[in-house]
């Protein structure tokens, strides 16, 4: 039994383009439409198992429809270049799939498909038409089903004659009449003005066709009658335009669209170029199940692995340890299961050495006979090439196995080479370098709740594949780091920092539980009180934490004005609530409740959950490969967003205490580091001057922007100037500033103009950096950290504007991140050199936190800010302020 699938290529590509988020490969080629199209195609091939497949495309701009009606498809926006550049790619991909594609001058894809379905009807071949457009419904027949995309492209809604009757009460033929009456704005088919789907359906149910409707206009009345009589000709022409032409002179025959399955190698190559990682993985997974195997993909099964299983294999371990003495580079992979390395299970490890790959589970590594291997792991002078050695370091440390001597890290390198590429999985990195052969973790372990450690054989093979991949990828990445000028950044900053971070994390921060619990009890009382008063004012009980329920109370029950909506309902965020304050006494209570609930759930209960019962400490995990600007991030718990702005929240900091009696918490933070960085990289003389004289930068900005003297700057002027300075750092827009200051956009625009008038060097920098981003496709920080901005040339204003703000912000935020990282490396050295007992505990973007014994207090008060200020020499001085106290709260 034959089965045909006929796809409207243009229509699906369009749908995919607008439904998918923007996606580009590293060459800057947009790929989202191709991606959406491909996932749909793969799904169709798998589910429908067709014998024949065709993708039809529109050819050229002028079709026979324009002969009678030159306005056809008029007024349509030009296809954006982000989409049009994807058509050739899509056509190439179809070749790799081995799928036929037709286009014929003067005809649209619809007509080609219409002609083929006529043949299918005649021959009685079961056929599925796939389109993003309901126009195709006129082709439905007992043999022909039409599937229309719904929500993006992944879901299809199929129509048979029965379903059409059920849903519209129309035959396929009548669908043409429907369009004749109501028209189609997207094709510029007029129809009858004022007649929409509702009216058109009513008329057709009554009279059956356009012709019959027009013959019976005397039976109609009112406005509708007038309109229809006035636009009879339009209706007739619209029906003609909407009719798919089913007699296209096609030379091809059924055999020309026969589909014999794709050839894996060609497809894999195409996916690789497009950087469709997940699809590539799917292809490789499918290969094991009898699908076409991609050429050049060496399955893990074929890797020779030396499995070391307990002391029965002591001889193999000896062989490994011997191989590790060869002075060559060795690959190491440690598998830690779970996101949090402080509580992760170490499943095992693999070492690539001497042309072999050895692998073992944790049991074996911990056995007495493995001591020589553990010595190698602990030896800082035995260089290791690894993947996420930071996580490995922590996970092993908690098992009592020290790891030192990371000399290369594939994950860290992948991050520097493209920090916006969210997942630097080994599978993905290997693929990018054309070294496939690492199964995705998901395929080996399953995902989410279904996580399961496979049998030892499979596990060790997987670990071995990773260690092998690490060793082969590292030299390639090293070249790339060299080429992009990030060699030094990698070896002298990021790699040393990763070990320093691990040390800080293992040290942990002591938490005074009783302090948190007391605060929690206080919050509990406040919350209970707020809840009772809110229920009373609302006249009912509800879940205040539910934005949905809260919205219903505020806007439906109490009838407060709707300020803003989210895509799912009413917005109830703080900004909205603040605007509603004048309308109802319940609002301040809700704001207060929100504040207390946040502190309770996130900072009291959340933090308490993370405290280790044995040590009373929290051990955060600083992630070095997440933030696109080069900043660190902090997890489990996040110690970079502990409250400080409001006093109620700030009290949380009283719970962060030194881990030794009589010690102090010492915190030092950079003063205005981002604006100082801006002064340096923009070279703006006035801004530099301000910092050289260590002026209050917001006051100084107010003086210059408002043209007044220092004495004339009032609190409000300073506040506005401060907002402008923030805006400058973020890549300003008048709208953003107007929102922030709650002033009209015009005024905000004026502020910005005045600012740029005064700080012309800054203005110049903002223009230059955008131009540079357009020219190079990326921006860099002072230490050559790089961030690609493929969207900088987008035609969509929003997308392009976002990229432009990123271009302005990233060098500033990123350079600040570079500087504090440098300071951390220097501080670590200083502490070691002077053999101090003081410990670095935390980094909070512009702040470093230490615990310090009393006898080192005076020294550290000098050393820390001095080291931070001299981490790098800029055209303006850097400055760090220092404070200390018996807890983090007091270090202010």
Q: Give, as ranges, the residues between 770 and 809 that touch DNA (CB under 7 A).
A: 797-798, 801-802, 805-806, 809
| 301 lies in the binding site for DNA (CB under 7 A) | no
Using the CB atoms, write b or e for 54-72: b if 16+ within 10 Å: bbbbbbeeebebeeebeeb
Measured from the CB atom, is 598 or 879 closer to DNA?
A: 598
According to CB under 7 A, which residues from 679 to 698 bind DNA? none
| 742 lies in the binding site for DNA (CB under 7 A) | no
- Segment lying near DNA (by CB under 7 A), choices 197-205, 472-480, 641-649, 831-839: 641-649
**Three-state DSSP state, 325:** coil
According to CB under 7 A, which residues from 481 to 500 bind DNA? none
Residue 254 backbone phi and psi in degrees, to 5: -50, -40
Four-point Cα dihedral 578, 584, 587, 588, nearest 10: 90
Residue 623 in tokens: 């992630």
Measured from the CB atom, is 458 or 602 closer to DNA?
A: 602
Q: Out of 154, 171, 209, 640, point to the residue binding DNA (CB under 7 A).
A: 640
| 641 lies in the binding site for DNA (CB under 7 A) | yes
Neighbours of 163 (CB within 10 A): 15
Q: Out of 601, 615, 712, 862, point to the residue binding DNA (CB under 7 A).
A: 601
CB of 607 to DNA, least distance (A): 8
| 154 lies in the binding site for DNA (CB under 7 A) | no
CB of 151 to DNA, least distance (A): 11
For residues 729 and 813, the answer to whether their CB atoms sit within 8 Å is yes
CB of 733 to DNA, least distance (A): 5
Measured from the CB atom, is 28 or 547 closer to DNA?
A: 547
What distance in Å separates the CA atoms of residue 782 and residue 455, rounded to the nearest whole number?
A: 48
Using the CB atoms, write b or e for 790-820: b if 16+ within 10 Å: bbbbbeeeebbebbbbbbbbbbbbbbbbbbb
Q: Out of 42, 201, 337, 741, point to the residue binding DNA (CB under 7 A).
A: 741
CB of 810 to DNA, least distance (A): 7
Q: Out of 24, 316, 726, 866, point to the residue binding DNA (CB under 7 A).
A: 726
What distance in Å separates the CA atoms of residue 664 and residue 102, rounded to the nearest whole number?
A: 76
Q: Out of 733, 764, 866, 883, point to the residue binding DNA (CB under 7 A).
A: 733
Q: Out of 602, 659, 699, 750, point to the residue binding DNA (CB under 7 A).
A: 602
CB of 624 to DNA, least distance (A): 10
Measured from the CB atom, is 393 or 791 closer to DNA?
A: 791
According to CB under 7 A, which residues from 428 to 457 bind DNA? 447-448
Give the Å distances, CA to CA, from 504 to 30, 175, 345, 499, 841: 41, 69, 21, 9, 5
According to CB under 7 A, which residues from 808 to 867 bind DNA? 809-810, 813, 844-847
Q: Out of 730, 755, 778, 850, point to the residue binding DNA (CB under 7 A).
A: 730
Q: How many residues bind DNA (CB under 7 A)?
A: 77
Q: Out of 568, 614, 662, 746, point to the residue binding DNA (CB under 7 A).
A: 568
| 569 lies in the binding site for DNA (CB under 7 A) | yes
CB-count exposure of residue 641 (10 Å: 0-12, 13-18, 19+): exposed
Give the Å distances, CA to CA, from 294 to 422, 466, 472, 536, 584: 26, 20, 20, 67, 66
According to CB under 7 A, which residues from 525 to 544 bind DNA? 543
For residues 622 and 632, the answer to whether their CB atoms sit within 8 Å is yes
For residues 820 and 871, the answer to whether their CB atoms sit within 8 Å is yes
Q: Out of 112, 687, 732, 758, point to the residue binding DNA (CB under 7 A).
A: 732
Neighbours of 95 (CB within 10 A): 12
Measured from the CB atom, is 300 or 847 closer to DNA?
A: 847
| 24 lies in the binding site for DNA (CB under 7 A) | no
**Three-state DSSP state, 7:** strand
According to CB under 7 A, which residues from 575 to 594 bind DNA? 575-577, 591, 594
Cα angle 289, 290, 292; round to 5: 115
| 727 lies in the binding site for DNA (CB under 7 A) | yes
| 157 lies in the binding site for DNA (CB under 7 A) | no
For residues 121 and 144, the answer to whether their CB atoms sit within 8 Å is yes
CB-count exposure of residue 80 (10 Å: 0-12, 13-18, 19+): middle
Give the Å distances, CA to CA, from 218 to 200, 205, 226: 17, 17, 10
What distance in Å separates the CA atoms of residue 614 and residue 606, rounded to the nearest whole number?
A: 18
- Segment lying near DNA (by CB under 7 A), choices 168-176, 521-529, 564-572, 767-775: 564-572
Q: Out of 264, 436, 649, 658, point to the residue binding DNA (CB under 7 A).
A: 649
- Segment lying near DNA (by CB under 7 A), choices 143-151, 368-376, 730-738, 866-874: 730-738
CB of 420 to DNA, least distance (A): 8
CB of 636 to DNA, least distance (A): 5
According to CB under 7 A, which residues from 617 to 636 bind DNA? 623, 626-629, 631, 633-636
CA atoms within 13 A on the CB side of 69: 19
What distance in Å separates the CA atoms of residue 325 and residue 113, rounded to the nearest whole number?
A: 68
According to CB under 7 A, which residues from 201 to 260 bind DNA? none
């Amino acid at each position: 039994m034959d089965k045909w699938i006929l796809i409207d290529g243009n229509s699906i590509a369009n749908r995919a383009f607008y439904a998918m988020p923007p996606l580009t490969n590293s060459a800057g080629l947009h790929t989202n439409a191709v991606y959406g199209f491909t996932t749909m195609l793969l799904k169709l091939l798998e589910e429908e198992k067709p014998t024949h497949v065709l993708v039809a495309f529109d050819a050229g701009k002028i079709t026979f429809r324009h002969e009678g009606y030159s306005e056809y498809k008029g007024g349509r926006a030009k296809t954006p270049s982000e989409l049009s550049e994807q058509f050739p790619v899509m056509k190439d991909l179809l070749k790799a799939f081995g799928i036929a594609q037709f286009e014929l001058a003067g005809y649209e894809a619809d007509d080609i498909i219409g002609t083929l379905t006529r043949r299918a009807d005649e021959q009685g071949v079961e056929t599925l038409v796939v389109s993003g457009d309901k126009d195709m419904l006129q082709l439905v027949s007992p043999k022909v089903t039409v599937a229309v995309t719904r929500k993006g492209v992944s879901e299809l809604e199929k129509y048979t004659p029965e379903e059409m009757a059920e849903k519209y009460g129309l035959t396929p033929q009548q669908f043409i009449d429907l369009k004749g009456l109501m028209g189609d704005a997207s094709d510029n088919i007029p129809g009858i003005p004022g007649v929409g789907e509702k009216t058109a359906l009513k008329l057709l149910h009554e009279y059956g066709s356009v012709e019959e409707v027009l013959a019976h206009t005397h039976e109609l009345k009112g406005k509708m009658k007038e309109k229809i009589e006035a636009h009879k000709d339009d209706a007739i022409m619209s029906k003609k335009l909407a009719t798919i032409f089913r007699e296209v002179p096609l030379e091809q025959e059924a055999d020309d669209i026969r589909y014999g399955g794709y050839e894996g190698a060609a497809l894999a190559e195409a996916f690789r170029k497009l950087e469709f990682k997940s699809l590539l993985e799917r292809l490789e997974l499918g290969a094991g199940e009898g699908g076409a195997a991609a050429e050049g993909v060496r399955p893990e099964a074929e890797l020779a692995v030396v499995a070391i299983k307990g002391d029965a294999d002591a001889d193999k371990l000896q062989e490994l340890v011997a191989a590790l003495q060869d002075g060559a580079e060795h690959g190491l992979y440690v598998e830690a299961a779970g996101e949090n390395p402080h509580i992760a299970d170490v499943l095992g490890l693999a070492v690539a050495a001497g042309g072999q790959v050895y692998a073992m589970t944790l049991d074996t590594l911990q056995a007495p006979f493995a001591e020589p291997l553990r010595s190698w792991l602990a030896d800082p002078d035995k260089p290791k090439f690894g993947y996420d050695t930071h996580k490995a370091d922590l996970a092993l440390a908690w098992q009592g196995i020290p790891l030192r001597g990371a000399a290369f890290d594939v994950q860290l390198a992948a991050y520097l080479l493209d920090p916006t590429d969210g997942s630097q999985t080994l599978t993905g990195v290997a693929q990018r370098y054309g070294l496939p052969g690492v199964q995705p973790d998901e395929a080996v372990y399953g995902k989410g709740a279904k996580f399961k450690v496979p049998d030892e054989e499979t596990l060790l093979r997987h670990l071995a594949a990773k260690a092998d991949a690490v060793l082969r990828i590292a030299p390639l990445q090293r070249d790339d780091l060299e080429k992009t000028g990030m060699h030094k950044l990698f070896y002298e900053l990021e790699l040393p920092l990763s070990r320093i971070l691990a040390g800080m994390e293992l040290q942990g921060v002591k938490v005074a539980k009783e302090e948190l619990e007391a605060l929690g009890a206080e919050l509990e009382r406040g919350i209970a009180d707020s809840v009772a008063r809110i229920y009373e004012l609302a006249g009912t009980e509800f879940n205040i934490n539910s934005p949905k329920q809260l919205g219903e109370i505020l806007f439906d029950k109490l009838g407060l004005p709707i300020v803003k909506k989210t895509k799912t309902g009413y917005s109830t965020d703080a900004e909205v609530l603040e605007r509603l304050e004048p309308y109802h006494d319940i609002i301040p209570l809700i704001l207060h409740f929100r504040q207390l609930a946040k502190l309770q759930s996130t900072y009291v209960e959340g933090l308490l959950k993370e405290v280790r019962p044995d040590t009373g400490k929290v051990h955060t995990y600083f992630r070095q490969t997440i933030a696109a600007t080069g900043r660190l991030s902090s997890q489990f718990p996040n110690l970079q967003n502990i409250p400080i702005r409001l006093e109620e929240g700030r009290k949380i900091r009283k719970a962060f205490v030194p881990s030794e009696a009589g010690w102090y918490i010492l915190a030092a933070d950079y003063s205005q580091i981002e604006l100082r960085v801006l002064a340096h990289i923009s070279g703006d003389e006035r801004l530099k001057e301000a910092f050289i004289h260590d002026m209050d930068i917001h006051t100084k900005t107010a003086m210059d922007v408002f043209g007044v003297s220092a004495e004339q700057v009032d609190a409000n002027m300073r506040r506005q100037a401060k907002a402008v300075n923030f805006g400058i750092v973020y890549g300003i827009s008048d709208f953003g500033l107007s929102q922030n200051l709650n002033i009209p956009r015009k005024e905000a625009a004026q502020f910005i103009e005045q600012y740029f008038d005064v700080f012309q060097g800054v203005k110049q920098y903002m223009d230059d950096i955008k131009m540079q981003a357009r020219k190079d496709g990326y921006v860099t920080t002072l230490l050559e950290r790089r961030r690609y901005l493929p969207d900088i040339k987008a035609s969509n204003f929003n997308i392009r504007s976002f990229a432009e703000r990123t271009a302005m912000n990233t060098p500033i935020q990123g350079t600040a991140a570079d500087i504090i990282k440098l300071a951390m490396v220097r501080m670590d050295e200083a502490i070691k050199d002077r053999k101090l007992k003081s410990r670095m505990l935390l980094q909070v973007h512009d702040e470093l936190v230490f615990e310090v014994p009393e006898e080192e207090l005076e020294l550290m008060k000098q050393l820390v800010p001095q080291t931070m200020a001299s981490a790098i020499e800029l055209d303006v001085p850097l400055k760090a302020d220092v404070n200390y106290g018996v807890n983090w709260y007091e270090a202010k």
